Amino acid sequence: MDQAPGSPQGPAGQDPADQGPPDAHRLPTCYRHPGRETGIRCARCDRAICPECMVDASVGFQCPDCVRGGSGTGHPPAASRPRTLAGGTMTADPRLLTKILIGINIAVFIAVSADSSLLGDLVLIGAWPPAPFTPTSGVVDGEWYRLVTSMFTHQEIWHIGFNMLSLWWLGGPLEAALGRLRYLSLYFVSGLAGGALTYLLASPSQASLGASGAIFGLFGATAVLMRRLNYDMRPIIVLLVINLIFTFSWSGIAWQAHIGGLVAGVVVGYAMVHAPRERRDLVQYGTCALVLVVVVVLTLIRTVQLI
């Protein structure tokens, strides 16, 4: 959650079809990850595959085994290199960026805990000191970097703990499904959108911090991805509703960051997983650019209001 400082806030290679008839109310499980239910099957061998194992093909998706077998060697040529659902390059460690983001958040938390004076330079604050004094710091004074640094800043142990658990749970599957560059774009665009809406609507002297804007963006993108893959939407909807209840019922939470991040995550996530293959990069990164333009416009509007 974004808060004001000091405020509460079966073995691989075994096809599930070989394990007996599936439960009538359950989806088949990925042949490489037996614990993951999925509604997607390989276009060549018809085995069930999860987002991490889906390789973008000219028609539908293929499993990694079929891609390797179809190339005639142990490694597919560059032209047919395995791609994720969104067109990203498949990697050996699909959670690498998620681990790095968690590491950065923890490093900043340790630094702030060791030297609390750093907090004032990292949090998102519109203008300080408040009117009628002339602002000498804040976004209005040109410190736009606070929109980024506040995304990695936490003050309370429970705050960073909750956010990092959410980042691990949501980030890994999304990174695997989107690919690293697209995943990182989603994360930063969502976080910046949350910060911009906070700057626009919250009191200019109210400081906020936390990764919640970006994480709510991951919530939105996860819902879009699950819809795209015909997964059961109930778990993610229940979690999202619970988080929104906390957002509007717990004092000290910057709800603007949550809503801004959520909306941006849904928009960018939809572009990532529904972009037509022939214009994929244009649609995906063009959508990210458009959201960033909105972020800049909202920030400029608020700055003009406060000058």
* Range ranked top by mean pLDDT from 67-81, 128-142, 219-233, 290-304: 290-304
Taken in order of first residue, the domains within the chain and their CATH numbers are 10-82 (no CATH), 96-306 (1.20.1540.10)
Question: One-letter amino acid identity for 273?
Answer: V
CA-to-CA separations, 304 to 135, 146, 297, 307, in angstroms, rounded: 13, 18, 11, 5
> pTM of this prediction?
0.76
Q: Is 219 a residue whose pLDDT tops 90?
A: yes
Q: Is 61 a residue whose pLDDT tops 80?
A: no
Q: Is 60 a residue whose pLDDT tops 80?
A: no
Torsion of CA 160, 161, 163, 166, to 10 degrees: 160
The closest alpha carbon to 168, from 229, 105, 121, belongs to 105
Confidence of residue 70 (pLDDT cuts 50, 70, 90): low
Q: Tens digits of per-residue pLDDT, 3-44? A: 555 443 333 344 444 444 444 446 688 888 888 877 777 877
* Range 154-158, long-range pairs (CB < 8 A, 24+ positions): 154/105, 154/108, 154/109, 154/112, 154/209, 154/210, 154/211, 155/3, 155/5, 155/6, 155/112, 155/119, 155/209, 156/3, 156/8, 156/9, 158/9
Report pLDDT for 30: 86
- Please indicate whether residue 113 is annotated as part of the active site: no
Q: Tens digits of per-residue pLDDT, 76-103? A: 444 445 778 888 887 778 899 999 999 9
Confidence of residue 1 (pLDDT cuts 50, 70, 90): low
Q: What does the pLDDT average to over 115-137? A: 83
CA distance 21 to 28: 10
- Other CB atoms within 10 A of residue 224 CB: 20
Report pLDDT for 18: 43
Confidence of residue 187 (pLDDT cuts 50, 70, 90): very high
Selecting among 80, 113, 212, 274, the annotated active-site residue is 212
Higher pLDDT, 43 or 229: 229
Report pLDDT for 81: 59
Q: Is 232 a residue whose pLDDT tops 70?
A: yes
- Please indicate whether residue 212 is annotated as part of the active site: yes
Selecting among 7, 190, 208, 258, the annotated active-site residue is 258
